Amino acid sequence: MKAIARLTLLVCLLAGVCMAAGPSPEKPNPGEELERAGQVSGHYGGNLTIGGRAEPKTLNPVIATDTVSREVIGRMMADLIDINRASQQTEPALAKSWKTSPDGRMFTLQLRKGIRFSDGHPFDADDVVFSFAVYMDENVDSPQRDLLIIDGKPLTVTKVDQYTVRFILPRPYAAAERLFDGLAMLPKHLLEKSYREGKFVQAWSLNTAASEIAGLGPFRLKQYVPGQRVVLERNPYYWKVDSQNERLPYLDELTFLFVGSEDAQVMRFEAGESSMISRLSSDNYNLLARERDRMRAQLADMGPSLEYNFLVFNQNDLRSKKLDAVAQKQQWFRELKFRQAVSAAIDRDSIVRLVYGTRGAPLWGNVGPGNKQWVNTAIPHPQRSVDAARQLLKSASFSWNQAGQLLDSSGKPVEFSIITSSSNTQRMKMATLIQDDLSHLGMQVHVVPLEFRAVIDRVFQSFDYEAAIMALGGGDADPNPEMNVWTTSGTSHLWHLHETEPASPWEREIDQLMQQQMITLDYGKRKQLYDRVQQLIAEHLPFIFLATPNILAVANPRVGNFHPAVLDPYTLWNADELYIRTPIESAAAR
């Protein structure tokens, strides 16, 4: 019975392969400066289907903000310098090499010669200059624009010759080449008209004809079916070849199904309608692992992610707001020993076990074990201790009444609520565990689940909350994206937003350290500076760090070169190298 089912599956797949065969790859010619992926091998053919949680909203790389759109667009576009998701280091992409001036302000990029967009049109420096003009245009409001404005000044781009571009930064910037990652190079010949007419924002919507869209990524648009799927096909002119000098990508087609939720992703995967899931929750991962006998799958646990979940107390300046009840509690929240006591009482191991089914790691600082390059391993990992927490509270003149309730120095019982997004089951569970943990200190904690945007609104705008469980990070391993979280003037300085002056010496020190690391070009020195930042954060606990989930992914056993990374986009970063194994190959791989 099983054999018959497998045979039919094979026949269907073969039929699918024959029918779906898109454009065949162009033979590499000597005029092209192609990138050779040394270790990669595979073979052509096949369609890979991925279930995505939602529908992309646009195919315009400059204005896309949602992760789903960016995931699809990322396969169709390429950047000048790319961050290799496996090594977390930069590597040449459309720029085959680059030089940095000794002061770290001038970058000269050498573009690949002879390569073409997915519509066959050649790519050169004019496209680069055009792309940056679009990204930096105030009227386009690209979310990437802020990256390119350093100290309020934009970086300048000049064309040196047809294949050389020069970037000048307003001041030295550490790891500046990482800025180029994710900035898709646009085809000037297709987009200039709409840009000049001021209609760039409407360009490349989902209904744009496939022939109007071209990029330098491994795939190009084939078809969009509203509400159902986006089908990409091979870009026959892609600029990478494998170890056999065969042009990548291997896949004929890459299909994104819109399935709605993670549970639906899992069900579609189990039903064999999709072949890969990018980021699984531990519940679903463990489910698939338990059912291994029934469902053959390549399960990948890539270890801790870069995301950090934390509990933050509201220390915002509430004088202009009418929030007296919260303001009264802020004297607790501003007390370091109070925060230390809370941190000491939280059972992080239980969080990892019960929330992440052991597929996660406890956190005591903002950089977790997943970020091997930057983590400060000297930060202590104290065991959970209710006694230590009680000592801390006692020394901060808190006391307990007959019923075991915690009272502050004025005799007011300690009671506060934690808000968290109701759509995130994991954080809801964390809140329930913390509520129980803190009840051992005599604190009465209320868990208040709110809809996601209502949480954001309270934390960023109205400040009408007492404590919140949230998560940040996960984008890049480098410290620079964290600038806005830890510096006083930062826009994600959640515990105290719009702070004009550093409230305390340690915050002042962090400001200085973060600024300094940003202009320090030497990795060793930067690491020292950032280690000190991590130490200060762990000592003063503006956030109480909880845990980080592992990056979990799954693929059908027939997907070859499946190597997920801990950085977004987790499984599809090497989409050009993925291929479909023959049944014999996949049996051998098992």
Partner 1 sequence: MRAKTASLIVALVGLHLTLLLAGFVAPCDPGAQDRDLPYAPPTRLHFVDASSWHLRPFVYRWSAGPDGYFENKRQSFPVHFLTGGPAYKLLGIFEAKWHLFGVDEPARIALLGTDGFGRDEFSRVLSGGQISVAAGIAATLLALLAGSIFGIVAGYYGRLTDESLMGATELFLSLPWLYFLLGVRAFLPLHLSPARTFLLLTCVIGLIGWARPARLVRGIVLSARSRNYVLAARSFGGSDVYLMWRHILPEVLGLLLTQAALLVPRYIAAEVTLSFFGLGVNEPVASWGNMLSTLQQYSVLVSYAWLLAPAAAMVVTSVIYSILADTLHSRLEFRST
Partner 2 sequence: MSYLGRRLIRAAFLLVGVSILCFLFTEMAPGSFFDEMRLNPQISPETISSLRSRYGLDQSLVVRYGRWLRSALHADFGYSIAYNAPVAPLLWSRAKNTLLLATTGMLLTWLVSIPLGVWAAARSGRMLDKSVRVASSLLVSIPEVVIAVALLAIVVRWRVLPVGGMTSMDDEGLSQWARLQEIASRMLLPTIILTLGESAIIVRHLRASVLEVLDTPFVQAARGLGIGRMRLLFRHVLPVAASPAISLLGFSLAGLLSGSLLVEVICGWPGLGPLILDATLSRDFYLVIGGIMLSALFMVGGNLVADIMLLACDPRIRTGALDAR
What are the residues binding partner 2 (CB under 8 A)? 16, 19-20, 47, 49, 54-55, 57-58, 60, 63, 65-66, 138, 141, 143, 145-147, 201-202, 205-207, 225-229, 231, 255, 257-261, 263-264, 267-268, 270-273, 423, 451-454, 456-458, 460-462, 470, 472, 475, 481-485, 490-492
Q: Which of 124, 307 has the CB closer to partner 2?
A: 307
From partner 2, partner 1, none, interface partner of 201 (C-beta below 5 to 8 A by class): partner 2
Q: Which of 5, 584 has the CB closer to partner 2?
A: 5
Q: Which of 144, 265 has the CB closer to partner 1?
A: 265
- Residue 493 tokens read as 């300085």
In angstroms, the CA 484 to CA 467 distance is 20
From partner 1, partner 2, none, interface partner of 255 (C-beta below 5 to 8 A by class): partner 2
In angstroms, the CA 365 to CA 538 distance is 5
Minimum distance, C-beta of residue 311 to partner 1, in the bound complex (Å): 15
Residues 244 and 42: beta-carbon distance below 8 Å: no
Residues 94 and 112: beta-carbon distance below 8 Å: yes
From partner 1, partner 2, none, interface partner of 350 (C-beta below 5 to 8 A by class): partner 1
Give one DSSP letter per residue of 276-326, joined into a string: EESS--HHHHHHHHHTTTTS--EEEEEEE-S-EEEEEE-----TTSS-HHH
From partner 2, partner 1, none, interface partner of 259 (C-beta below 5 to 8 A by class): partner 2
Minimum distance, C-beta of residue 55 to partner 1, in the bound complex (Å): 20
Give one DSSP letter per residue of 417-468, joined into a string: EEEEETT-HHHHHHHHHHHHHHHTTT-EEEEEEE-HHHHHHIIIII---SEE
From partner 1, partner 2, none, interface partner of 404 (C-beta below 5 to 8 A by class): none
- Residue 102 tokens read as 């000794």
From partner 2, partner 1, none, interface partner of 347 (C-beta below 5 to 8 A by class): partner 1
Minimum distance, C-beta of residue 313 to partner 1, in the bound complex (Å): 14
Q: Which of 419, 483 has the CB closer to partner 1?
A: 419
Minimum distance, C-beta of residue 452 to partner 2, in the bound complex (Å): 7
Query: How many residues are recorded in the chain?
Result: 590
Minimum distance, C-beta of residue 469 to partner 1, in the bound complex (Å): 13
Q: Which of 49, 343 has the CB closer to partner 2?
A: 49
List of residues 6+ apart from 376 with CB closer than 8 A: 365, 367, 530, 531, 534, 535
Give the position of tokens 């992080």.
348
Minimum distance, C-beta of residue 290 to partner 1, in the bound complex (Å): 7
Q: Which of 199, 440 has the CB closer to partner 1?
A: 440
Minimum distance, C-beta of residue 67 to partner 1, in the bound complex (Å): 21
- Residues in contact with partner 1 by the rule CB under 8 A: 263, 266-267, 281, 283-284, 286-287, 290, 347, 350, 353-354, 417, 419, 422-423, 425, 428-429, 431-433, 435-436, 446-451, 454, 457, 464-466
**Integer angstrom CA distances of residue 237 from 205, 233, 574:** 23, 12, 17
In angstroms, the CA 301 to CA 303 distance is 6
Q: Which of 151, 387 has the CB closer to partner 2?
A: 151
From partner 1, partner 2, none, interface partner of 354 (C-beta below 5 to 8 A by class): partner 1
- Residue 239 tokens read as 């600029």
Q: Which of 122, 272 has the CB closer to partner 1?
A: 272
Cα–Cα nearest to 64, from 48, 80, 77 = 77
Q: Which of 34, 62 has the CB closer to partner 2?
A: 62
**CA triple 351-357-361, angle to 5 deg:** 55
Residue 484 φ then ψ, to 5°:
-75, -15
Cα–Cα nearest to 148, from 123, 120, 115, 181 = 181
Minimum distance, C-beta of residue 359 to partner 1, in the bound complex (Å): 13
Q: Which of 281, 534 has the CB closer to partner 1?
A: 281
Minimum distance, C-beta of residue 418 to partner 1, in the bound complex (Å): 10
Residue 448 burial (10 A CB sphere; 0-12, 13-18, 19+): middle
Q: Which of 66, 436 has the CB closer to partner 1?
A: 436
Minimum distance, C-beta of residue 461 to partner 1, in the bound complex (Å): 11
List of residues 6+ apart from 103 with CB closer than 8 A: 172
From partner 1, partner 2, none, interface partner of 290 (C-beta below 5 to 8 A by class): partner 1
Reported as half-sphere exposure (CB side, CA atoms, 13 A), residue 369 has a value of 15
In angstroms, the CA 307 to CA 67 distance is 15
3-state DSSP call for residue 32?
Answer: coil
Minimum distance, C-beta of residue 326 to partner 1, in the bound complex (Å): 8
From partner 2, partner 1, none, interface partner of 101 (C-beta below 5 to 8 A by class): none
From partner 2, partner 1, none, interface partner of 152 (C-beta below 5 to 8 A by class): none
From partner 1, partner 2, none, interface partner of 435 (C-beta below 5 to 8 A by class): partner 1
Minimum distance, C-beta of residue 79 to partner 1, in the bound complex (Å): 36
Bridge-based pairing of strands 276-277 and 240-241 is unpaired
Cα–Cα nearest to 545, from 329, 373, 376 = 376
Q: Which of 241, 251 has the CB closer to partner 2?
A: 251
